Amino acid sequence: MANFYAPIDDTKYLIDEFLDTSELSDVSMFSEMTPDLTDAIFEEAGKITESLLFPLNRSGDEQGCTLKNGNVTTPDGFKEAYKKMTRSGWGNLTCSTEYGGQGLPHYIANSVDEMIISSNISFSIYMGLTIGAYNAVEKFGTEELKKKFLPNMVSGKWSGTMCLTEPHCGTDLGLIRSKAIPQDDGSYNISGSKIFISAGEHDLTENILHLVLARTPNSPKGIKGISLFLVPKIKVNDGGGLGELNNVVCSAIEYKMGIKASSTCAMEFEGSNGFLVGELNKGMKAMFIMMNSARIHVGIQGLALAHVSYCGAVDYAKDRIQGRALTGAKQPEKVADALIVHPDIRRMLMTMKAYTEGARALSTWLSFKLDISHHSTDPTKRQQADKLVSLLTPVFKSFLTDMGETVTSLGMQIYGGHGYIRENGMEQYLRDARICQIYEGANGVQALDLVGRKLPAHMGESLRYFFHPLSKFLTQHSDDDSLDPYIQPLSKAFSRLQNATLFIAKKGLSNPDEVGAAASDYLKLFGFVAIGYMWAQMAEQIINNKGNMPDTFYDAKLKTGRFYMQRLLPQTESLLSSLMSGSDNIMDLAESQF
């Protein structure tokens, strides 16, 4: 049976030693984040995720959700676990203290989120969607809406969703048909069908607040005519108490490949009373607050599933005896050696470890950049950090979820036939990981967003905030022999990324198909370089300024980083070759020839 161990030591290292938080030391929220406090947070998060949530992971997958008379029942134990998690404040870490939240930085909260997701991704979705809805209402809602809805969302008493997709439209939200009819009291009657709504109906909270995209009469066609509305499952009266049902109906739940304990619903809005969030016809601006937050969250899902799969794979490789080491028996007292002696098992474990720990470093680093974009007292630094986060969000979402599928597949492979058997728990991680590449904007769409919107925006300005610091880092350490195993491979990979960027910029002026054909390979190349940058920075920090972790910890870091540079980062060469081969080999085949 696979096990889960919260990555407490690695998280402490990243927060206490790797991350330089001095840039926000003049902000009280960050000056209070001492190692004693953050270490205690991670220790407690590790305990509750290992003891409360992980034991419900497999049983929740086996039982799934059930729908009866429009009501969804979650698996056994979920309701009690939800109460414990929300009452302890684990569901509102970044929410404002004004509404009862913890007011913690993203780099702390996202590290905790990884542990929650690793232990039980289906459970985590119920809390995660509420935070996304909170963010949209907190930023764009009226003061009246905030006071009426946010305190109960923050406490976990009420939950939230995002309702975008309709049966006839997914990525192309300009095709939305849901209607919003204005009423005399300033509210709207919402009618329409939405599908694939995570946590759209469940029994964990007494009310569910849906953020719904819809069109008002005579609104502009396409994406410019969409508005965002808050539609509660149960009406809320002026005093904040619950009133009558609001004609919000769950008509079906999906029976899925994975995340089976998360209710994925088809929702019908039948003249439901709703409230405008943000400006009329500018719903996408407000919804993107949720979507960008969700995309970072989904990237963390890829990382989290990779980690829990690695936990199970390491245990099995150390315990399962099978064959003898190629160089002679390592455990002569036994009839065979443990799997971990075999080079190919080591190759898979090292790949899992290098991807996972590199991705965790990127997650921590990017989360802090998000904090800078929100809290820096310097407007220029806020703006630059915002552009960097915007640039890297599609890379983070796509690369980490692709990595999640790769790593969970390797974890299952290490178990051999036993990995394919449900009772051992490893195949669930692969099934759960697969959705992460699809929802919140499929990875191919993320690649198009990167090359079609993020790169050309403001004449490529956003690239400066990643390329320039990386180039400076490589120049500063080019003559450091101790860092040569990390600097030289990264320098070559970065050069390939620069060449690919120039190729896309030139081709985009003459043939958009060239850019579309190169997009996915370009995003992967970018992701490899971004994680390589994290590994090089960790190596530099360890070699030149070692902290308080055990020497064995640092030794493992350096060796794992070297594996990434020598075994995984060279994939950037083939990606560059592939994307520069052009679009003809993709587009030449006639439609009738498929």
Q: Kindly report the pTM of this predicted structure.
A: 0.97
| CA distance linking residue 385 with residue 371, whole number of Å | 9
Decide if pLDDT at 289 tops 80.
Answer: no
| CA distance linking residue 157 with residue 168, whole number of Å | 33
Decide if pLDDT at 47 tops 90.
Answer: yes
Q: How confident is the model at residue 292 (pLDDT cuts 50, 70, 90)?
A: confident
What number is the average pLDDT over the span 54-69? 97
Q: What percent of the chain has pLDDT over 90?
A: 92
Q: How confident is the model at residue 294 (pLDDT cuts 50, 70, 90)?
A: confident
What number is the average pLDDT over the span 522-541? 98
- The residue extents of the domains of the chain are 288-583
pLDDT one-digit tens code per residue, 7-30:
999 999 999 999 999 999 889 889
Structure tokens at 560: 């794992």
Decide if pLDDT at 436 tops 80.
Answer: yes
Active site residues: 440
Pick the CATH number of 288-583 from 1.20.140.10, 3.30.56.10, 3.30.70.260, 3.30.1330.10: 1.20.140.10
Decide if pLDDT at 484 tops 80.
Answer: yes
What number is the average pLDDT over the span 176-198? 96
Of the candidate ranges 11-20, 220-229, 288-297, 459-468, the one whose mean pLDDT is the lowest = 288-297
Mean of the per-residue pLDDT values of the chain = 96
Decide if pLDDT at 287 tops 80.
Answer: no
Decide if pLDDT at 1 tops 80.
Answer: no
| CA distance linking residue 27 with residue 104, whole number of Å | 12
Q: Of 166, 189, 170, 169, whose CA–CA distance to 179 is shortest?
A: 189
What number is the average pLDDT over the span 188-194? 98
Task: Identify the pLDDT of residue 134.
Answer: 95
What number is the average pLDDT over the span 492-499? 98
Instruction: Tell me which H or E stretch contains 369.
Output: helix 343-375
Decide if pLDDT at 459 tops 90.
Answer: no
What number is the average pLDDT over the span 78-87? 98
Task: Identify the pLDDT of residue 73.
Answer: 98
| CA distance linking residue 271 with residue 187, whole number of Å | 11
Task: Identify the pLDDT of residue 237.
Answer: 93
Q: How far apart are the first and last CA of the chain?
A: 44
Task: Identify the pLDDT of residue 146.
Answer: 97
CA dihedral (20, 490, 544, 473) positive or negative: negative
Decide if pLDDT at 434 tops 90.
Answer: yes
Amino acid in the structure at residue 230: L
Decide if pLDDT at 291 tops 80.
Answer: no
What number is the average pLDDT over the span 267-286? 94
DSSP 136-162: HHHHHS-HHHHHHHHHHHHHTSEEEEE
Q: How confident is the model at residue 457 (pLDDT cuts 50, 70, 90)?
A: confident
Q: Of 43, 32, 29, 10, whose CA–CA distance to 105 is shortest?
A: 29
Phi-psi region of 262 (alpha: psi -120 to 50; beta: other; left: phi over 0): beta
What number is the average pLDDT over the span 530-559? 97
Decide if pLDDT at 147 tops 90.
Answer: yes
Q: Read off φ and ψ for residue 569, nearest 5 degrees.
A: -60, -30
Q: Are 97 and 103 in contact (CB under 8 A)?
A: yes
Widest CA span in the chain: 84
Q: What percent of the chain has pLDDT over 70?
A: 100
Task: Identify the pLDDT of residue 175.
Answer: 85
pLDDT one-digit tens code per residue, 375-399:
999 999 999 999 999 999 999 999 9
Instruction: Tell me which H or E stretch contains 212.
Output: strand 207-215
What number is the average pLDDT over the span 157-184? 91
Q: How confident is the model at residue 509 (pLDDT cuts 50, 70, 90)?
A: confident
Task: Identify the pLDDT of residue 120.
Answer: 98
